[in-house]
Amino acid sequence: MQKVITINLNGNAYQLEETAYGLLRTYLDGAELQLKGNPDVAEIISDLEQAVADKCNRVLGAQKTVVTTAEVKQIIDEMGPVEGTAAEPKSEKQERPRSDTTAPKRLYQIRDGAMLSGVCKGLAAYLGVDVTIVRIVFVVLAALTKGAFVIVYLVLMCVIPHATTSEERAAAHGQPFNAQELIDEAKRSYAGFTNSRQWRRHWRRQQREWRRYAPPTAWRFWGPPPIAPVGYAGQVFAGIMMPLLTVARTAAFWIWLCVLASLFSTNALFGWPIPDGIPFWAALLISLFAYCFVAWPLDAARRSSIWALGAPRYGWFSAWDGLLGLVLSALCLWLAWEFVPEVHDFLDNMPTVRANIQNLLRGL
């Protein structure tokens, strides 16, 4: 049992099943889209509607008042796809301003013409003000807060996605994206390439980039498929998660090191002696497995985040990621040196550690 929808085809009422209505709606909307720019689109659509109505009349009768889905399918098949005829250039020009639909405006980082990462440029595009004003505001704020505002910049740099595709660049400015604009843009930048040396340099850079984009094969096992499109929200989420994951990953590594140090220097895990049944090498193996068990999913998640943020800028992100890890490691070392007596013990007990290792080797 289906709901029936009454429609008006060129001035007459017809009753269609709900899904039949959906099909017909799709067909006519598609036709209208195909005929976009054609000055006679309204007339052609009404002609098509009339043709559909005639075909409906054929299947309807005194005892049959509703057109079924199968019948509408058949009718649409008979009508055939509507092909747009090339409209005159004049009418196309009239059409273009009308294609301005509301485009979503989004905050992106814009790399072209950026001084650092494009945060200011993206903000300027989003707010619709000159980029210089935004930069001055940032510098002034940084000066006023004695540099603390730089952290805000770093955080924004991490969290705000980069506008890499033309679509995203258009969204960063809140402009509608369509193919015509892409072509215009390409023409403009092509006209700028008059200098052949500049062109050669561009070409070499492009080739280097292509080579770099080829992802290392090992990634395929746990990373998402290369160049998986990620939405805006996903990119923001990845931007937030990436530093957190790096922190967790580095922490895991240092905790494991502490465990090792503790095992070697005291033959115990932070004061807990190894149970009798477990030999020393087994304890080491168990600690290794525990470490891998924690580190592996963290690594996978981190790689996915980097991918989500954009594979093309992989180099940038891994550099940033590595730097963060290094700073954290240095911080851990310093904290350990200052506050954890075991570290001092470890260094003091170096002879014991050597003995333990020698014992282990002799055991093997």
Partner 1 sequence: MSVQEKFSAIRKGLLEFLILKIIASDKVYVADMLSRLSVTEFKTQEGTLYPLLSKLRREGLVEYEWQESDAGPPRKYYELTARGKSQLAELTAYWKDINATINQLGR
**Candidate segments 53-61, 146-154, 247-255, 333-341, binder of partner 1 by CB under 8 A:** 53-61
Closest listed residue to residue 314, CA positions, set 220, 226, 201:
226
Distance of CA 304 to the CA centre of its chain: 10
* Nearer residue to partner 1 within complex by CB, 25 or 220: 25
Is residue 50 close enough to count as binding partner 1 by CB under 8 A?
A: yes
Stretch binding partner 1 (CB under 8 A), from 49-57, 130-138, 235-243, 330-338: 49-57
Instruction: State the nearest-atom distance from the C-beta of 161 to partner 1, in Å.
Output: 42
| 8 contacts partner 1 (rule: CB under 8 A) | no
Which residues within the stretch 308-337 sit at the binding site for partner 1 (CB under 8 A)?
A: none
CB 47 to partner 1: min, Å? 5
Alpha helices in 160-279 (DSSP H): 166-172, 179-191, 196-213, 232-266
Among 25, 65, 70, 84, the residue binding partner 1 under the rule CB under 8 A is: 84
Integer Cα distance of 98 and 116 in angstroms: 37
Given the structure tokens 């080579």, which residue do they identify?
211
3-class SS of residue 145: coil
The answer to whether residue 43 forms part of the interface with partner 1 (CB under 8 A) is yes
Q: Which residues have CB under 8 Å from 354's CB, separation 6+?
A: none
Closest CB 57 distance from partner 1, rounded Å: 7
Q: How many CB atoms lie within 10 A of CB 86?
A: 8
Among 6, 25, 33, 39, binds partner 1 (CB under 8 A): 39
| CA distance linking residue 336 with residue 346, whole number of Å | 11
Query: Of 5, 23, 82, 284, which one interacts with partner 1 (CB under 8 A)?
Result: 82
**Do the beta carbons of residue 235 and residue 229 sit within 8 Å?**
no
In sequence order, the 6+-apart residues with CB closer than 8 A to the CB of 131 are 113, 120, 121, 124, 125
Query: Binder to partner 1 among 80, 229, 275, 277 (CB under 8 A)?
Result: 80
CA atoms of 56 and 76, how far apart (whole Å): 11
Between residues 36 and 354, which has the closer beta carbon with respect to partner 1?
36
Closer by beta carbon to partner 1, 84 or else 231:
84
CA atoms of 74 and 80, how far apart (whole Å): 10
- The one-letter amino acid code at 1 reads M
Q: Does 40 bind partner 1 (CB under 8 A)?
A: yes
Which one of residues 31, 124, 172, 258 is an interface residue with partner 1 (CB under 8 A)? 31
Asked if residue 57 binds partner 1 (CB under 8 A), the reply is yes
The verdict on 54 binding partner 1 (CB under 8 A) reads yes
| The dihedral formed by the CA atoms of 130, 135, 136 and 137, expressed in degrees to the nearest 10 | 90
Q: How far is the CB of 29 from partner 1 (least distance, A)?
A: 14
Give the binding range for partner 1 (CB under 8 A) out of 38-46, 222-230, 334-342, 349-357. 38-46
Question: How many residues form the binding site for partner 1 (CB under 8 A)?
Answer: 26
Strands (E), the chain: 4-9, 12-17, 66-67, 268-269, 272-273
Q: Is 79 in the site for partner 1 (CB under 8 A)?
A: yes
Q: Does 38 bind partner 1 (CB under 8 A)?
A: yes
Which chain residues interact with partner 1 by CB under 8 A?
Answer: 10-12, 31, 35, 38-40, 43-44, 47-48, 50-51, 53-54, 57, 78-85, 88
